[in-house]
Structure 1
Amino acid sequence: LVHHGLSQIKREKCQIGLLALLKSVGKTAQHVTSNDLGFVLGPRLNAAGRLSDMSLGIECLLSDDPEKCLEMATELTRLNEERRDIESEMKEHAFGLISEVIGESGSNDRPSAFSVFHKDWHQGVVGIVAARIKDRFHRPSIAFALVDDGLLKGSARSIAGVNIRDALESIATRHPQLIESFGGHAAAAGLTVKLANFVEFREYFSETIRGLLNEENLQQIISTDGVLEAKDFTLALASQIENISPWGQKFPEPKFYGEFLIKERYVVGELHARLLLETDENVTNLSAIAFGAAEEDWFLNASRIKAVYHLAVNRYRGQETLQLKLDFAERV
């Protein structure tokens, strides 16, 4: 379905609103990819529901007025930029709260789970923040925002091997006064708790998760397709991989492992790390990007890194070049 949908978009046989969204971010329909659906179009459509009224995104997709579609697409892009600003501020605040907790417990006694809350957080963004916390600290995490009548709306994200919905159900069964409502699945869930019960809930949540953790799921494991040879760092291979897409669950995009020397580094956009890398096999001038990594220790201080990455085609001003997109990196 995704493959045929992309084919329709590339031939511009699709809703005018999709074409307007692509135009609003400087992309052409002919080169749209499944990544664009998930990371360019999707967030803009979702931004309306997170911050304003989701009907704006629906109307953009249904309208047959090109001028009106472009206006709505521009507004969706503006809302998405606002959402990213809110997310960035909330994420840094949450990381600060968690760093204080880790500092108090000691680096060798990291809490089993994290539940964080601030009265000024936006309820439309807590799910993204919970995901960022989970990714950074590799622990089941919940971020809460205050809503009306002294209630907190929370969004939970979990790690492999820990069913977050079952954990919440266990708490609701043993301590029914702590959770007003909840729902979800193994990897993600939503819940409502009273503000007055937050501290007690946080304690029972950590206790419940502690009973589900073991040495295996505490270890963050990234599976890769191995190490590329020097001859494989080519635009042709990146294009071939792109043409096989769309990728997804049970059919993941190929990821590779390697060690690199950092030749150049600088920050672009919203704290994205741009690098020029070199391999031990004298493959030089490899352009790479790590989204949101400009404040990571490895980017700031390392001269050599080991990384998990995938090959991508970077398109800019009509030119196509090879780019490494780093999914994980740390100093060697």
Structure 2
Amino acid sequence: MNVLRRIVRRPPQAASGEWPTHWPEVLRRVHAARGSDARSALPRLADLLPPEGLKGIDAALDLLQTAIGNDAHILVVGDFDCDGATATAVAVRGLRMLGVRRLSHAVPNRIVHGYGLTPALVEELAELQPDLLVTVDHGIACHAGIHAAKAHGWNILVTDHHLPGPVLPPADAIVNPNQPGCSFASKALAGVGVMFYVLLALRARLGVQADLATLLDLVAVGTVADMVPLDANNRALVGAGLRRLRAGQGCAGLQALLEVSGRKAGTLSTTDIGFAIGPRINAAGRLEDMGIGIECLLTDDAGQARGLAAILQGINEERRALQTDMQDMAEASLDGIDTRYAACLFDPDWHPGVVGLVASKLKERLHRPAIAFAPAEPDSPMLRGSARSIPGFHVRDALALVDARHPGLIARFGGHAMAAGMSLAREQFEAFRSAFVAVSAELLSEDLLVDVLRSDGGLCADEFHISTAHALRDGGHWGQGYPEPLFDDAFEVLHWRVLKERHLKLELGLHGQRFNAIQFNGWDGVEPARKARIAYRIVPDDWRGGEAIQLQVVHREAAAASSPA
């Protein structure tokens, strides 16, 4: 299907306040258009919200302080994605810094255990005989697992950021900014951010000296990779972590991952984290054992880190090949499916660790909520699904509505506005698809089904310069909820050619200048219009070096078909 895309220019905002004198006007107006002033554009650690606003923080500190005082055994249990891996590494490193001596960590295997703290995982962990179990990036929906852990006599501290159900689990303490009654102003913390806040509060409670800022490289990576909104609080955390990484002060594992991904530390951006670092960590949890990724983030030995990073690189290459095959299968199956409101697909040969990526690509292509399912394990009667959503459609709430209308249809679900996971019996797939599509049709308006590209307007002739590209790359922490600068102009298409049968290489003319441009996956078999309105980003051309810039084309259409809004 052809998705309607519309370029809408953001209303111009006055760049108020005293901005850094070296910031060009274009960078100031970009931040102003996102609601920032000179102070909030690049927030610092001093601007962080205090931990005291987190509900449950005092009970959590009581558990941890007592455990430290009794030399108790603390077991950290993470999740098998990048947020969970970084949160586990932050918890282990931070608790050691704060005096914990008896400390273990574990993570479920996606295929063997499923998501979170399950009863099966608890039984495997029983031989470790922990006194206190701390969940990171999960736990708020793990009722059965927490009941099983309590039956062993363990104390349970849940740290999580996912949305809770109507009943909270029976943990001894819960720290989650999204739980009912929590007054913490930022609800956008990732799992790694929640754990970092617990450590900040514990340091203050204990009155010890510990440089927790050394953990901010991990906090930044987990926050960006989990695609939580980068509100001012998260931007302060991410900015501090980026500064450490750019200065070569990241942990050995992250520096090794930078090397294998070919990224330069000195110019690292949130985009590099999202497209290079995060996927390599995530790959371990998707196809193998996230324990590999966690060990890479915990080691201080550079040689060991390089070896583990090389393993993660290999797993990621395998993941990419598998994802390509699954995406091709998904694309082929779309012809016979009604995708007016949502896409919901299942294939018995798909891998459960990659369905989230397939759903993400379907969502991007169709601009519709998308769910992809795979068998929980080969020949399993249970399916695991991963959902991705579009702005304005809260996918976890949609699943809750399906569950309320069809009790028992979904075995288990959880997540947040833009992403969710679920499990259901294979025999229930068609019934679930019908129910989810019906809810989507009910909740989605025609406006939400249009893919709106919000542009920062056009660039002046003298703004097409390498200094602009550098300023935009380095002058903001761009991401979910605080989007990377996007511009639009009407160009003359001077020349074009197809690269690798899918990408479109363009030479564009504007203001009497010629610009190199690339549109990844932009070849649709139709010759580009001679005059085109193009939404683009301006970036340094790393291939040509020097003062060269390149325009990354996000969208193009015949110039007469649209005008600035």
Q: Structures share a fold, TM > 0.5? A: yes
Decide which moves more: 58-67 or 113-122.
Answer: 58-67
Structure 1 residue 60 and structure 2 residue 296: aligned? yes
Report how far residue 181 of structure 1 moved.
Answer: 0.8
Higher RCO, 1 vs 2 (CA within 8 Å, ≥6 residues apart): 2
Equivalent in the alignment of 2:528: 302
Structure 1 residue 24 and structure 2 residue 260: aligned? yes
Q: Is the Cα contact below 8 Å between 1:274 and 1:287 reproduced in 2?
A: no
Structure 1 residues 266-277: aligned runs within 5 Å: 266-267=498-499, 273-277=503-507
Equivalent in the alignment of 2:19: none
Structure 1 residue 122 and structure 2 residue 360: aligned? no
- In structure 1, how many angstroms separate the alpha carbons of the residues matched to 2:428 and 2:481? 39
Equivalent in the alignment of 2:384: 153
SS at structure 2 position matched to 1:315: coil
Equivalent in the alignment of 1:105: none
Match of 2:273 among 25, 28, 37: 37
Q: Is the Cα contact below 8 Å between 1:34 and 1:245 reproduced in 2?
A: no
- In structure 2, how many angstroms separate the alpha carbons of the residues matched to 1:311 and 1:58? 35
Equivalent in the alignment of 1:326: 553
Could you say if the C-alpha distance between residues 34 and 218 of structure 1 is closer, same or farther in structure 2, counting changes exceeding 3 Å?
closer
Q: Which residue identity does 2:467 align to in structure 1? A: A
Larger radius of gyration: 2
Structure 1 residues 133-282: aligned runs within 5 Å: 133-148=362-377, 149-260=380-491, 261=493, 263-267=495-499, 273-282=503-512
Q: Which residue identity does 1:111 align to in structure 2? A: R
Q: Is the Cα contact below 8 Å between 2:473 and 2:539 reproduced in 1?
A: yes
- In structure 2, how many angstroms separate the alpha carbons of the residues matched to 1:220 and 1:288? 22
Q: Is the Cα contact below 8 Å between 1:116 and 1:144 reproduced in 2?
A: yes
- In structure 2, how many angstroms separate the alpha carbons of the residues matched to 1:275 and 1:19? 32
Report how far residue 325 of structure 1 moved.
Answer: 1.9
Could you say if the C-alpha distance between residues 317 and 84 of structure 1 is closer, same or farther in structure 2, counting changes exceeding 3 Å?
same
Structure 1: 5+ residue stretches without partners: 103-109
- In structure 1, how many angstroms separate the alpha carbons of the residues matched to 2:396 and 2:311? 35
Report how far residue 236 of structure 1 moved.
Answer: 1.1
SS at structure 2 position matched to 1:326: strand
Q: Which residue identity does 2:349 align to in structure 1? A: D
- In structure 1, how many angstroms separate the alpha carbons of the residues matched to 2:558 and 2:282? 35
Q: Is the Cα contact below 8 Å between 1:151 and 1:195 reproduced in 2?
A: yes
Q: Which residue identity does 1:276 align to in structure 2? A: L
Decide which moves more: 174-183 or 59-68.
Answer: 59-68
Equivalent in the alignment of 1:91: 327
1:124-161 deviation digits (Å, cap 9, x = unpaired)? 11111111111111111110001244011011112222
Q: Is the Cα contact below 8 Å between 1:313 and 1:322 reproduced in 2?
A: yes
Q: Which residue identity does 1:78 align to in structure 2? A: G
Could you say if the C-alpha distance between residues 151 and 73 of structure 1 is closer, same or farther in structure 2, counting changes exceeding 3 Å?
same
Q: CA RMSD in A?
A: 2.1
Q: Which residue identity does 1:201 align to in structure 2? A: F
- In structure 1, how many angstroms separate the alpha carbons of the residues matched to 2:461 and 2:246? 33
Equivalent in the alignment of 2:108: none
Report how far residue 172 of structure 1 moved.
Answer: 0.9
Q: Is the Cα contact below 8 Å between 1:235 and 1:313 reproduced in 2?
A: yes
Q: Aligned pairs, how many?
A: 319
1:296-332 deviation digits (Å, cap 9, x = unpaired)? 34xx532444322211123248646312222233455
1:232-254 deviation digits (Å, cap 9, x = unpaired)? 21111111111212213443221
- In structure 2, how many angstroms separate the alpha carbons of the residues matched to 1:238 and 1:35? 14
Q: Which residue identity does 1:195 align to in structure 2? A: R
Q: Is the Cα contact below 8 Å between 1:272 and 1:289 reproduced in 2?
A: no
- In structure 2, how many angstroms separate the alpha carbons of the residues matched to 1:64 and 1:280? 51
SS at structure 2 position matched to 1:206: helix
- In structure 2, how many angstroms separate the alpha carbons of the residues matched to 1:30 and 1:99? 46
- In structure 2, how many angstroms separate the alpha carbons of the residues matched to 1:71 and 1:274? 36
Percent sequence identity over aligned pairs: 38
Decide which moves more: 248-257 or 78-87.
Answer: 248-257
Specify which structure has the higher proportion of strand.
1
Q: Which residue identity does 1:238 align to in structure 2? A: A
- In structure 2, how many angstroms separate the alpha carbons of the residues matched to 1:295 and 1:143? 25
Q: Is the Cα contact below 8 Å between 2:508 and 2:516 reproduced in 1?
A: no
- In structure 2, how many angstroms separate the alpha carbons of the residues matched to 1:78 and 1:6? 26
Q: Is the Cα contact below 8 Å between 2:469 and 2:538 reproduced in 1?
A: yes
TM-score, structure 2 normalization = 0.54
Report how far residue 31 of structure 1 moved.
Answer: 2.2
Q: Which residue identity does 1:26 align to in structure 2? A: G
Decide which moves more: 165-174 or 300-309.
Answer: 300-309
1:33-81 deviation digits (Å, cap 9, x = unpaired)? 2221111111111111111111111111221222221121122112112
Q: Which residue identity does 1:302 align to in structure 2? A: P
1:70-115 deviation digits (Å, cap 9, x = unpaired)? 121122112112111111111121111112325xxxxxxx532111
Match of 2:516 among 287, 303, 322: 287
Q: Is the Cα contact below 8 Å between 2:498 and 2:523 reproduced in 1?
A: no
Q: Which residue identity does 1:306 align to in structure 2? A: R
Q: Which residue identity does 2:305 align to in structure 1? A: C
Report how far residue 182 of structure 1 moved.
Answer: 0.8
Q: Is the Cα contact below 8 Å between 2:457 and 2:488 reproduced in 1?
A: yes
- In structure 1, how many angstroms separate the alpha carbons of the residues matched to 2:306 and 2:357? 27
Could you say if the C-alpha distance between residues 14 and 169 of structure 1 is closer, same or farther in structure 2, counting changes exceeding 3 Å?
same
